[in-house]
Amino acid sequence: MVLGGGTGGTLIANRLWRLLGPGSAEIVVVDADDEHVYQPGLLFVPFGLADPAGLTRPRHRQLRPGIAFRRAAIDRVDLEQDAVWLADGTSLDYDVLVVATGARLIPEETEGLAGPGWMEKVFTFYSLDGAVALRSALSRFDGGRLVVGMVDMPVKCPVAPLEFSFLADWYFRRRKVRDRVELTFVTPLDGAFTKPVASRELGGLLSAKGVNLVTEFNTGEVDGQTGRLISYDGREIPFDLAVMVPLHGGQAYVDRSPGLGDELGFIPTDEQTLQSKARPNVFVIGDAADIPASKAGSVAHFEGEILARNITSYLTGEPLDAAFDGHTNCFIETGFGKALLIDFNYDTEPLTGRFPGRLGLPLLRQSRLNHAGKLAFGWLYWHVLLPGREIPAVRSPMPAAGKCALPAPGPVQTRKAR
Ligand SMILES: Cc1cc2nc3c(=O)[nH]c(=O)nc-3n(C[C@H](O)[C@H](O)[C@H](O)COP(=O)(O)OP(=O)(O)OC[C@H]3O[C@@H](n4cnc5c(N)ncnc54)[C@H](O)[C@@H]3O)c2cc1C
């Protein structure tokens, strides 16, 4: 039984169906709704670069024939009974459970964020509704202070707010109002990104594009009436329009499932085998896991190859010998038809060179080829990733071929808030 029919749930169900062979296992996917949103496309909606309707497809159609789709909200998991209770009062038994219910946005956890001004002066592009509302707010914005902020880590695709800042610079230049817009990127981290090398590179790009970078800012309150972000240590950042990435947590049903999750609602998981720490017959894929990898679709994709092998081993009583190395791969849109690519894992920082080999896409360097890669990813998502197919030459273990040494260190400019 697979809980969640998003990126990870769909691809693991399809991979297992193929690996185990039709008819040899009963595979059921449970999800609360039948609308699968291509989340990386949300970044483009506020800038009029993606049609919201084109980002959504029916979930059940992404599953191979023979996989059952059950549309129902999950109420709780009973680990003692190997059963899942649904909100309609029925229950389903399982032999093996895969938790793929992702992460939840919890704006109400930050004082004022979802209060007055929410969806008027304060927006998020991390949901389809939010991205659509932000599109019309941005089109009316002709000048003033635009702040892009992350409340705290972990978040899905931690580079997406940076991409938003780069695209905002491009958007306002195209509209010839850039000189009237003050752009500020606000982060709780001590640099633009979590990984020092990429952080230096991305911090340099923010500075080159005239985007202020405010680091170590832990947002405690958002005042959407007077237009202020207020940190726990009393600093303030004024804004006319704020684009926020709310706090993320696991799903609420996890709290109602004794022994399954941690205090944030994420599932304690072995970072290599992807087996939960709660029970040997419970596995985890994607954003729901507490592992030290990025919360990204690319991670769910690389995990899928490992997890399908380990679940097959579990079913046949063999040792779980496939190990996930934390491989993450992100295209970072930088505006003006260019993008940058980073590739890393648990042990290796993003390196320069090419991916997936000597003749591949340039790493840590802006290029039109990477932008084309980012756009092509949308097609690959529906036609290769979700159906559980392999991308030629792009496998789960992070490749070393084509990679060079770290780039020389350079200064990063940051600005402290008042
Ligand atoms: C703006 C944005 C940009 C992004 N850009 C990129 C990118 O460029 N590259 C990249 O690799 N990743 C990107 N991501 C991240 C990527 O989309 C996620 O990491 C990925 O979708 C995680 O997959 P998942 O299966 O863990 O969760 P999801 O795909 O979110 O699926 C979780 C599923 O669980 C279901 N569910 C939850 N709770 C319940 C319940 N109680 N009952 C029933 N069903 C439930 C949900 O309905 C959902 O279908 C981006 C994300 C966002 C928001």
- Mean pLDDT over residues 225-234, rounded? 97
Q: How far, in Å, from the CA of 40 to the mean position of ligand 1?
A: 9
| DSSP-based three-state secondary structure for 78 | strand
Closest ligand 1 atom number to CA of residue 286: 26
Ligand 1: does its nearest atom lie under 6 Å from the Cβ of 328? Answer: no
Question: Looking at residue 417, what is its pLDDT?
Answer: 38
Higher pLDDT, 394 or 10: 10
Tokens of 256: 């109602």
- Helices and strands in the chain, H and E counts: 7, 24
DSSP per position, 125-137: SSSHHHHHHHHHH
Dump pLDDT digits (tens) for 103-145.
999 999 999 999 999 999 999 999 999 999 999 999 999 999 9
Q: How far, in Å, from the CA of 103 to the mean position of ligand 1?
A: 7
Query: Average pLDDT over the chain, rounded to whole?
Result: 94
Question: Looking at residue 329, what is its pLDDT?
Answer: 93
- Mean pLDDT over residues 165-176, rounded? 98
Q: Which long-range contacts (CB under 8 A, 24 or more apart) does 71-75 make?
A: 71/30, 71/31, 71/32, 71/33, 71/34, 72/30, 72/32, 73/32, 73/253, 74/3, 74/30, 74/32, 74/101, 74/251, 74/253, 75/253, 75/256
What is the torsional sign of CA 350, 352, 358, 362? Answer: positive
Beta-sheet pairing, 68-71 with 28-31: parallel
Q: How far, in Å, from the CA of 351 to the mean position of ligand 1?
A: 27
Lowest average pLDDT, out of 190-199, 304-313, 328-337, goes to 190-199
- Mean pLDDT over residues 17-37, rounded? 94
Ligand 1: does its nearest atom lie under 6 Å from the Cβ of 286? Answer: yes
Tell me the whole-structure pTM to 2 decimals: 0.95
Question: Looking at residue 406, what is its pLDDT?
Answer: 55
Tokens of 302: 């690389």
Ligand 1: does its nearest atom lie under 6 Å from the Cβ of 298? Answer: yes
Ligand 1: does its nearest atom lie under 6 Å from the Cβ of 6? Answer: yes
Q: How far, in Å, from the CA of 233 to the mean position of ligand 1?
A: 32
| DSSP-based three-state secondary structure for 376 | helix
Ligand 1: does its nearest atom lie under 6 Å from the Cβ of 269? Answer: no
